[in-house]
Each structure stands twice: as structure tokens, then as C-alpha cells.
């Protein structure tokens, strides 16, 4: 056993020992053990990040954590809980930045759900977001105005008329447009979306 590796019930001793040995070897100029350690923990950490931010950013989050791995202190905590905490924090930072930029619609209440480990709904959101962006522009805009901005059918018709939509737009026409969009989403997703 390596001196300074404490016993922590939440993590296996071999993982801590391997991580500490890999860091020591890396400091001595041999990066191979560190690469092997990363290869061993990569799938578990990517899966964890995937449950929080989805497929587009999971690997980036884990890579960012690996860049800071030298800050891990084997005497203070076990390696896997530390890595998972770092991955979680990296993911939450991304979600917060995205929320501020309005790239991902995550409300402040949603952050509390994420912090409590309830992340499955994010995957559903990502799937729905991709499907929405495949809709024709007018259909997408109608759905966004109705379900994400809370506009009435009449208000959407007025917005479309003010924007000079070429065909006559009525409340019923907007309703038909949204119904067609939902049918397209149903075809893409295999189920009716919950909007």
C-alpha cells in the first residue's frame, strides 16, 4: 500500500492505490499507468456525465476533469467519489452557462433536481430538442411560441401576420400547424411528445 492512502468506505482501496501509484509514476515521467487508470474509469465517468448533460457533452466533461486530476489528494478522499463529484460539478457548470446563454432550457428549479440525482428527464429533453429542430421553420416557431413561450393561438396568428407570413394566418390555421408539427414529432419520436 502507498503511504498516505487512507481508508474510505465509499471507495475501493485498490482504485485509490492505483490512482496514487499512477500519479506518482506520472510525476516521475512515466505517464503509462495514468493513461491505463483513465482508460479503466473512463466508461463509468462518461456514463455518469451522460445522465446529466446527454451525449453531446459527456466526454468533454470527463476530459476536463482528467485535466485537473493532479489536484486529487489521496489522503483526503477516495478517487472515484472525488472524480464523480468533479464530473458532476463540471456538468452543472455547463448547464448553468448554457442556461445563461439560453442554449439549454433548464430552469433554476431543474438544477435542484439535477443536484438530487434526478437526471433522466434531461435525456428526454435532449431527444425532444433534436426532434423539434428537425421541424420546418414555421412549424418549429409555432410550437415554440405555443408551448415554450405560452402564447395563445390568436397571439401566434397575430405575430405571424405582423411578420408577413405569406398565407392568411388565423387561430385555426395556427392550431392546424401545431397539430401537424406534433404529428411530425410523433413520427420522429415514435410517441406523442409531452409539451
Spatial separation of the C-alpha atoms in residues 13 and 24, rounded to whole Å:
16
Q: Which three-class secondary structure state does DSSP give residue 130?
A: helix
CB-count exposure of residue 9 (10 Å: 0-12, 13-18, 19+): exposed
pLDDT tier at 3, thresholds 50, 70, 90: very low
pLDDT tier at 126, thresholds 50, 70, 90: low
Domains defined along the chain, listed by start: 13-119 (1.10.1740), 133-189 (no CATH)
pLDDT digits (tens, 9 = 90+) for 136-180: 888 888 888 887 778 888 888 888 888 888 675 788 888 888 888
Report if pTM > 0.75.
no
pLDDT confidence of residue 11: 47
Q: What is the DSSP letter of 69?
A: G
pLDDT tier at 39, thresholds 50, 70, 90: confident
pLDDT confidence of residue 113: 61
Buried-exposed string 42-81: b where 16+ CB fall within 10 A, e elsewhere: eeebbebbbbbbbeebbeebbebbbeebeebebeebbbbe
**Range of lowest pLDDT (40-49, 70-79, 142-151):** 70-79
Top-confidence residue, 19 or 120: 19
Q: State the chain's mean pLDDT as an integer.
A: 75
Top-confidence residue, 48 or 70: 48
Q: What share of the chain is helix, strand, coil (3-state, %, to 5)?
A: 70, 0, 30
Amino acid at each position: 500500500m502507498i503511504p498516505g492512502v487512507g481508508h474510505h468506505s465509499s471507495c475501493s482501496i485498490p482504485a485509490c492505490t492505483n490512482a496514487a501509484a499512477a500519479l506518482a509514476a506520472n510525476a516521475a515521467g512515466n505517464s503509462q499507468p495514468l493513461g491505463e487508470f483513465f482508460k479503466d474509469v473512463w466508461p463509468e465517468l462518461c456514463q455518469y456525465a451522460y445522465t446529466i448533460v446527454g451525449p453531446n457533452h459527456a466526454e468533454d466533461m470527463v476530459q476536463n476533469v482528467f485535466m485537473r486530476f493532479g489536484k486529487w489528494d489521496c489522503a483526503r478522499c477516495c478517487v472515484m467519489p472525488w472524480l464523480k463529484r468533479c464530473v458532476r460539478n463540471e456538468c452543472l457548470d455547463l448547464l448553468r452557462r448554457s442556461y445563461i446563454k439560453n442554449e439549454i432550457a433548464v430552469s433554476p428549479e431543474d438544477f435542484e433536481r439535477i443536484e438530487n440525482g434526478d437526471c433522466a428527464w434531461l435525456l428526454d429533453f435532449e431527444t425532444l430538442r433534436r426532434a423539434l429542430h428537425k421541424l420546418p421553420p414555421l412549424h418549429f416557431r409555432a410550437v415554440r411560441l405555443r408551448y415554450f413561450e405560452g402564447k395563445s393561438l390568436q397571439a401566434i396568428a397575430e405575430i405571424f401576420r405582423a411578420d408577413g407570413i405569406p398565407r392568411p394566418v388565423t387561430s385555426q390555421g395556427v392550431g392546424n400547424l401545431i397539430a401537424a408539427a406534433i404529428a411530425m414529432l410523433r413520427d420522429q419520436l415514435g410517441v406523442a411528445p409531452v409539451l
